[in-house]
Structure 1
Amino acid sequence: MATENPKKMEKQITNPWKWQDQRSYVQAVEVTQIQGTLYVSGQTAISPDGQSSTADMKTQLTEAIQNLEQVVGEAGYDCKNIVRLNIYTTSTADLWPHFPILQDWIAKHGMKQATTLLEVKSLFETLTVELEATVVR
């Protein structure tokens, strides 16, 4: 009979300032006693049959979040344990009005993740936003 490991994953958040709280991220996350780490490729608004979305930024952001949730869940992890979220977009100006969608999703899962936002020249085909995550268990 296998015995369960009594050690539980722990997260330590480091925020020397308060301003990042309004932007829904933390400055650093230390994770100890990890049982597994999932490195998720950038998730975008690509349909189950592999078609890249031509929709607006809001729709693509929502679909990218849904695809990220699906990958994380099917791998047996929880979105609440995303410790790193990289956001790539072809236009921060187009993304900003819809940033509350991402912030609400982060709050819904109670995430405390380090985040980097990068504007890039282009993404695959017609895509405008991509979410890349590291998740722990």
Structure 2
Amino acid sequence: MAAQLTLSLDNLEAVLGEAGMSLANLVRLNVYTTDVDRLFEHYGVLASRLGADGVAPSTTMLGVTRLAIPTLMVELEGTAVA
């Protein structure tokens, strides 16, 4: 879970970077996970990355049965403003 969460954050940062933004531009973050308990065990990964950019977007965590790719355990959906 920690590795997937880290990769998801890396990918989100890359997409934001292409738009000339960073995690600091996030105003909303939805976290979809197939295992809420495991995500909470690794929530520090998410919190520390957001904290490093001084951002605390409105966040919703949703437990789902599965994601589009069966091996995925976490998916991030962010809204950012310039």
TM-score when scaled to structure 1?
Answer: 0.57
Aligned-residue RMSD, C-alpha: 0.8
Deviations 1:30-55 (A, max 9, x none): xxxxxxxxxxxxxxxxxxxxxxxxxx
Structure 1 residue corresponding to 2:61, chosen from 89, 95, 117: 117
Offset of residue 110 of structure 1: 0.6
Q: Does 1:129 align with 2:62?
A: no
Give 2:51's aligned residue. 107
Structure 2 residue corresponding to 1:87, chosen from 31, 50, 63: 31
Structure with greater helix share of residues = 2
The unaligned stretches of length 5 or more in structure 2 are none
TM-score when scaled to structure 2?
Answer: 0.94
Once residues 39 and 56 of structure 2 are traced to their aligned partners in structure 1, the CA distance between those partners, rounded to angstroms, is 21
The structure number with the bigger radius of gyration is 1
The unaligned stretches of length 5 or more in structure 1 are 1-56
State the number of aligned residues. 81
Question: Percent identical across equivalent pairs?
Answer: 46
